[in-house]
Amino acid sequence: MVNGEFRPDRAQPDPVLWATLDRHGVTIRGPEASTLGVGPDPDWLRSWNVENLESYWRPLVARTRLGLADLDPGSPLPASAVVWGALGPGRLHRTITTGEIISKTASADHTASLLPSYASLLERAKASRLGDASVTFDVADGLAGCDLIDAVIDLATDA
């Protein structure tokens, strides 16, 4: 926004932000957000998400695997790290394949429908995100999360 006016030509945050504003923006004052014409080009939205998976998530998974490799599989991991990793890439997959922007919580169900062998991990991640403090994660979950992320990336880049 520049001087109270949306100016997508002046700032180029990522297309997910523009799509979210266009589709889900809450108008406090002035015209409805959907009338401002800030929705991104669908090809830009798709390609940005594919690039994010390849340039951010894939290297992150490789570094995470290295960091976890020598740890005891039963050692605890912070729930926030596993939840973030398990639920994040599925959102991008959904945007790449449908153009929709979904929540991290909805991502659990979407990703489980794509990769049912990870449904248990995703359900636990969803429960933790929704506030269930009894859910815990360990290094084995972290490594499974790495495999999950790689599988989501492979599906998304092949879409």
Residues of the chain with pLDDT under 50: none
**What integer pLDDT is reported at residue 13 of this predicted model?**
74
- Gyration radius of the chain over CA positions: 18
- Tell whether 81 and 152 lie within a shared domain: yes
| Structural domain count, the chain | 2
Residue 18, domain extent: 1-40
**What integer pLDDT is reported at residue 9 of this predicted model?**
66
**What integer pLDDT is reported at residue 159 of this predicted model?**
79
C-alpha distances (whole Å) from 25 to each of 14, 48, 127 are 15, 21, 27
| Residues 6+ positions from 85 with CB-CB distance below 8 Å | 61, 64, 142, 145, 146, 148, 149
**What integer pLDDT is reported at residue 66 of this predicted model?**
97
- Tell whether 63 and 90 lie within a shared domain: yes
- Tell whether 67 and 131 lie within a shared domain: yes
- Tell whether 69 and 113 lie within a shared domain: yes
CA dist., res. 77 & res. 156, Å (int): 27
